[in-house]
Amino acid sequence: MLISVILIDDHPVMRYALRHMIEEQGRFNVLGEAEDASRGFELIRTHFPDVVLLDLFLPDINGLDLIYKISVLPRPPRILVLSGQDERLYSNRVMSAGAHGYVSKSKGIQEIKNALVMVAGGYSCFPIASLYVGPEQKADRDLLSCLTKREMTVLIGLVRGQSNKEIADSLFLSQKTISSYKVRILEKLHLHTLADMINFAIKNKLIESERWQR
């Protein structure tokens, strides 16, 4: 049985090359392709692919936000990020967001193929060098691993400046439920305030510090 794939990349030439590479394998079937996150998300909800191969920077929304949205779907696909951005800077971010692999566009065709096969097979595929963390980061990583997928989604929404109502509307939940999630997240991360939460997110590269600079 062929493994189904959705491609999301804003460069037509890249999408064409990826489609040719993937279908040449004989193991994959590209169900559709999109040039932005909105169209890509709609394709995912319509076709239920096994794997989504996406670029990190898209014209309408940040790829990290798209990964969060995909990861909380009732039947989330496997996610492989293929990007031209520095893998040392972004691998941990996409992993925390819910992706299953990250490979640079500068890598050779065979390495990209191998990453796709690994992710489709249920494995994670991240550059080894990017996964090293010091003792303090490891402690924070352990705390983050205690969060459920839904709690992680709420956390990201809060530290990105979304209100309880905005998060509640996007997840089809009540504001009271989001408040409960916020309390639970603070407890699990051993934090006390929203400011603590934002600093924690910046330190662990879940968001850019520039977002909160005036």
- Mean pLDDT rounded to a whole number for the chain: 85
Using a pLDDT cut of 90, give the percent of the chain over it.
39
- State residue 214's pLDDT score: 38
Average pLDDT over residues 111-125: 89
> What interhelical angle do 164-171 and 149-159 show, nearest 10?
140
- pTM for this one? 0.65
CA distance 29 to 147: 34
pLDDT tens, residue by residue, 22-34: 888 788 999 999 9
CATH among 3.40.1050.10, 2.130.10.10, 2.30.42.10, 1.10.10.10 for 135-208: 1.10.10.10
Quick one: 63 exposed, middle or buried, by C-beta within 10 A (0-12, 13-18, 19+)?
buried
CB atoms within 10 A of CB 186: 18
CA distance 115 to 125: 6
pLDDT tens, residue by residue, 153-203: 899 889 888 899 999 998 889 999 999 999 999 999 999 999 889 888 888
pLDDT tier at 128, thresholds 50, 70, 90: low
Tell me which H or E stretch contains 51.
strand 51-54
Domain layout of the chain by residue ranges: 3-131, 135-208
CA distance 56 to 196: 27
User: In this structure, which topology does domain 3-131 adopt according to CATH?
Assistant: Rossmann fold (3.40.50)
Asked if the model's pLDDT at residue 57 lies above 50, the reply is yes
